[in-house]
Amino acid sequence: MTQSGHQKRDAGTLDGALQDANLTRYADPHLISGRAMRRREFIAGLGGAAVMPLAARAQENRPARIGVLVLTNADAQSLTLALREGLRTFGYSEGQQFVFETRSAAGSMEQLPGLAAELVRVPVDLIVATFTPCALAAKRATSTIPIVMVAVADPIGTGLVQSLARPGGNVTGFSNMAAETAGKSVELLRDMLPALRRVAVLANPADPFTIPFLEQVQLAGRAAAIEIAPIAMARGAGEVEAAFGLMTRERAEAVVVQGIFFSKTIADLALQHRLPAASVVRQFAQVGGLMAYGADVADIFRRSAVLIYKILQGTKPAELPVELPTKFELIVNIKTAKALGIDVPHFFQQRADEVIE
């Protein structure tokens, strides 16, 4: 016990990190204690959303309004480009059959609830929301406007849908299986560095995806006989340096990084602290991280146009199963490896979909 009467927590442990980040209310206690994990199910009694088919909107002489809710401006650009191209295959032209109402949080998650509410007030006919924070903000803003979630990590565990086969309510879309691929990152680090025994984790407590992310990394660590410690948290770029200080003090030998949007800051500090770092998003390796393994998000963006088309034609989201990624990619940054003094095995480079020289 501390002098203040509170129970002392070990810095950098899963339980301590969750408590410090006020995330214990989301955690699965069976998994955290090492017992078998059971997938959490979200039970809600929401009814299917009403959708105005394209023919009905044509009588109003207006195109469909597609709300786009994203965390960064880069996401807005890449998503709308992919949707524009995808909808064109169905004969949809921007300005005639549809228009975008785009809202970007410019990297600030705190803005998402207000931006989602703006889209509801427009009102839009459908909302496309990238990644878990945006999808949750959209769901909390409306129970009637259809929502297509794009590249969401754990849609069941975070309460976005009731099940993958039968989403229920007004939400469907695509999972990127980021929790599972984060676990795979532990295996890949071990394959590249066979002597690896202690791997840190850097997560964002503001992201509801943090819990399933940590759970899968812990499971992978146990399976590979690798200690997962410490667990560091960073809400923004300004907290990353302190997080790496913790990893250095706790003698971490590598780090698995959550798909956080301030990737460049993390990649730079990982190199400065000489820590091999892996994440689930392609951008991480592109800006200097050692490795990235995850779903092909660009492919998910393109495939989302199919669900949007179906919904605009009158299909209810509850009738459209949540889809999983079909393409995964491994990117290795050899330039970073050389700076860290790592000789990436030839067999590992052959496994990579892209090698950055």
**How confident is the model over 215-270, as pLDDT tens digits?**
999 999 999 999 999 999 998 889 999 999 999 999 999 999 998 768 899 999 99
Residues 58 and 167 both lie in one domain: yes
**The last residue of a domain, from among 279, 314, 339:** 279
Asked whether the beta carbons of 184 and 213 are under 8 A apart, the reply is no
Residues 191 and 163 both lie in one domain: no
Residues 61 and 157 both lie in one domain: yes
In a domain, 333, yes or no: no
**The last residue of a domain, from among 251, 279, 307:** 279
pTM, two decimals, is: 0.80
In a domain, 268, yes or no: yes
Which three-class secondary structure state does DSSP give residue 110? helix
SS3 content of the chain, % helix, strand, coil (to 5): 40, 20, 40
pLDDT in the model for residue 207: 81
Q: How many domains does the chain have?
A: 2
Token pair for 74? 């880069």
Residues 216 and 230 both lie in one domain: yes
Residues 141 and 244 both lie in one domain: no
Residues 102 and 166 both lie in one domain: yes
Residues 115 and 199 both lie in one domain: no
Q: Which residues span the domain enclosing 141?
A: 54-176+296-327
Q: Where are the alpha helices (DSSP H) in 273-314?
A: 282-286, 297-312
**Regions in the chain scoring below 70 on pLDDT:** 1-60, 261
pLDDT digits (tens, 9 = 90+) for 169-205: 999 999 999 889 999 999 999 999 999 999 999 999 8
Residues 184 and 321 both lie in one domain: no
Residues 88 and 232 both lie in one domain: no
Residues 273 and 164 both lie in one domain: no
67, β-bridge pairs: 101, 127
Residues 198 and 154 both lie in one domain: no
176, β-bridge pairs: none
CATH number at residue 249: 3.40.50.2300
Closest among 321, 292, 325 to 161, alpha carbons compared: 321
pLDDT in the model for residue 236: 85
Closest among 220, 225, 329, 342 to 277, alpha carbons compared: 342
pLDDT in the model for residue 101: 98
Taking the alpha carbons of 305, 306, 312, 317 in that order, is the dihedral positive or negative?
A: negative
Please name the helix (run of DSSP H) or strand (run of DSSP E) that holds residue 264, with its range, or none.
Answer: helix 263-272
- Residue 268 has a CB neighbour count (10 Å cut-off) of 14
Residues 30 and 70 both lie in one domain: no
pLDDT in the model for residue 15: 57
In a domain, 341, yes or no: no
Please name the helix (run of DSSP H) or strand (run of DSSP E) that holds residue 174, with its range, or none.
Answer: strand 171-175
CA distance 202 to 181: 15
pLDDT in the model for residue 53: 53
Please enumerate in sequence order all residues whose Cβ is within 8 A of that of 52, keeping only pairs 6 or more positions apart, or say none: 125
Q: For the chain, how far is it from start to end, CA to CA, in angstroms?
A: 52
Which three-class secondary structure state does DSSP give residue 308? helix
Closest among 172, 135, 175 to 49, alpha carbons compared: 172
